[in-house]
Structure 1
Amino acid sequence: MDKVVVKAKAKVNLTLDVTGRREDGYHEMKMINHSISLEDTLTFETSPEGISLTSDNNQMPLDEKNLVIIALRKLQKRLNVKNGVKIHIEKRIPSQAGLAGGSSDAAAALKGLNILWNLNLSTIDLLEIGATIGADVPYCLIGGTALVEGIGEKITPLPAMKKLYVVVIKPNVNISTPWAFEKLDQREIKNHPDVSAVVQLLKAENYAELKVVMGNVFEEVAFEQYPEICEIKKGLLKNGALAAIMTGSGSTVVGYFQEKKLAEMVWKVFNQKYSTCFFSEISEN
């Protein structure tokens, strides 16, 4: 096979809790993730001219800092691969948004190169490699709706969510994950989301009650520094979202809707103010 195309789905945290910090400095997490239809497209082609990475987004790094190249190097080292490859990323997931765009691209690279280079690595092999790249990479290899624990390596699939429509809004604010964790470490987390209750509501398909128990511990520090993020969340709820939450360490806010027409109408309203604003839906593949 000379060419492989892989879709990289955006990840949303339906709820996110930080439960502790390990001696090695990593934080223990407990969160429920799901995929949405917003996606990047990665194309892998065999090449006799070594390794090259291109993108239609001129803002993203295309060197060794890119998680796609990091994933590639991991495979090369593990299996002593010498093959060349041309990789192109059609970028749609915004960066520094809490949507795991880089991690999803890295997971797509592991999948795509595994096929292109006939490496025959199992899903367990890929998960093991993914965990060394970033906390979100193992989940992005699996996708769908899942409970994710530990430092991202413990993944428990949950029942697929019914189709919900989502409005995804990223203000002109970039939040680095290290900054968010540093701020969180400086305070006591008083309001932990009820992750177990969210799991039960998902199993019962009782989405109307989600906003009562879901939450993201990073909201408190993000809202303090960037009140606009909080205003977006309030605006989504005021305009009929059955639930809304900031995803990851921010700054993107996601609103959930059961009615497509209402979701589209709300998207059009926010799209007049925010250039990075998407109408999307829950995706389970």
Structure 2
Amino acid sequence: MVKAKIFKSKAYAKINLFLNVLGKTNENMHKLKSLVCFINLYDEIVISENNKFSISIKGPFKKLIKKKNIIEKTFSIYSNFLNIKNNYKISLNKKIPVSAGLGGGSADAAIVLKGLNYLNNNKIKQKDLFSIAAQIGSDVPACLYNKNVFFSGYGEILKKSPRIPKFFLLLINPRKELSTKKIFEMFKEKQKSNKKNIFNYKNFFPWAAKQNNDLQKYSEKVMPDIRKMLFFLNSLDTCFFSRMTGSGPTVFGLFKRRIDAEKAFHLLKKQNSNWWAGVYSIKT
């Protein structure tokens, strides 16, 4: 009896170290530019062959996953591309906050795409896999690449990032969801020039501090907690800078030493135990 193949992998969360919105096309799509960095916060995914398609979800954020979700969408697009009828059981341990600007759904989609291709003997070439990823969502190609990367366009244009020094993050989330669609609908600014975002290993920290997230002020209007979380981070001498990731509502403070990030975490928990928070390091 041939043992059924099983695919297991981690789906890593991301932060947008900066996020620029460069304008909108006639198709109502926003052109973006960002440096995406991956951190050691992750979901866990297991895929195995099954007689019918099913998704089982556990973990601290399982209740926030909708019935029609990005995993189901990924399975449908992949199956249609290959014109296959195979079914799979997909198990998800959901540890990344949902609708939080951390790319959890996109990371899950990228790993499911990779896993389905593995279970089908890698029938789809890498180039086509990235094209499929772009159909699923703007963050999915970067999550499929799974290394620190510049992305532009609608997320489909990827450029390898220079080496980044090790740093630590205190992530804070108000335990509330924020609609990406709603925030982008609020964005009314005229098209910006596509300035070059260049850094090297030595000047990374001052360079990163000068960047910004163009969506942050819009998200702050919808969810005032974002401003409060950033105020807390900015009050810390050891926090190099703070920023919102994605369309929010998660924010991060960047620290050069883990011990400083952990001290900030414990101070936060004394002041506001209702917010979700955690200390993480960047994948280098």
The alpha-carbon deviation at position 212 of structure 1 amounts to 4.1
The reply to whether residue 230 of structure 1 matches residue 227 of structure 2 is: yes
Q: Following superposition of structure 1 onto structure 2, how do residues 114-129 of structure 1 map, counting pairs within 5 Å?
A: 114-129=117-132
- Per the alignment, residue 246 of structure 1 pairs with 244
Identity of aligned residues (%): 29
Of the three residues 211, 220, 227, the one matched with 1:214 is 211
The reply to whether residue 53 of structure 1 matches residue 51 of structure 2 is: no
Q: CA separation in 1, counterparts of 2:251 and 2:93?
A: 23
The alpha-carbon deviation at position 234 of structure 1 amounts to 2.5
The alpha-carbon deviation at position 31 of structure 1 amounts to 1.0
Shift in alpha-carbon separation, 1:110–1:158, aligned structure 2, 3 A:
same
In structure 2, the residue corresponding to 1:5 is in which secondary structure? Answer: strand
Shift in alpha-carbon separation, 1:79–1:11, aligned structure 2, 3 A:
same
Partners of 2:163 and 2:201 within 8 A in 1: no
Q: CA separation in 2, counterparts of 1:62 and 1:175?
A: 14
Q: CA separation in 2, counterparts of 1:151 and 1:279?
A: 30
- Per the alignment, residue 282 of structure 2 pairs with 282
Count of residue pairs brought into register by the alignment: 276
The reply to whether residue 158 of structure 1 matches residue 189 of structure 2 is: no
The alpha-carbon deviation at position 121 of structure 1 amounts to 2.0
- Per the alignment, residue 135 of structure 1 pairs with 138
CA RMSD of aligned residues (A): 2.0
The one-letter code sitting in structure 2 at the alignment partner of 1:251 is P
Partners of 2:234 and 2:241 within 8 A in 1: yes
5+ residue gaps, structure 1: none
5+ residue gaps, structure 2: none
In structure 2, the residue corresponding to 1:132 is in which secondary structure? Answer: helix
In structure 2, the residue corresponding to 1:120 is in which secondary structure? Answer: coil
Shift in alpha-carbon separation, 1:193–1:21, aligned structure 2, 3 A:
closer
The reply to whether residue 179 of structure 1 matches residue 177 of structure 2 is: no
The alpha-carbon deviation at position 78 of structure 1 amounts to 1.0
Shift in alpha-carbon separation, 1:39–1:212, aligned structure 2, 3 A:
closer
Shift in alpha-carbon separation, 1:184–1:254, aligned structure 2, 3 A:
same
Q: Following superposition of structure 1 onto structure 2, how do residues 1-285 of structure 1 map, counting pairs within 5 Å?
A: 2-47=5-50, 49-57=51-59, 58-61=62-65, 63=67, 65-185=68-188, 187=189, 196-197=196-197, 199-200=198-199, 203-210=200-207, 212-239=209-236, 240-272=238-270, 273=272, 274-284=274-284
Q: CA separation in 2, counterparts of 1:225 and 1:71?
A: 30
The one-letter code sitting in structure 2 at the alignment partner of 1:77 is N
TM-score (norm 1): 0.90
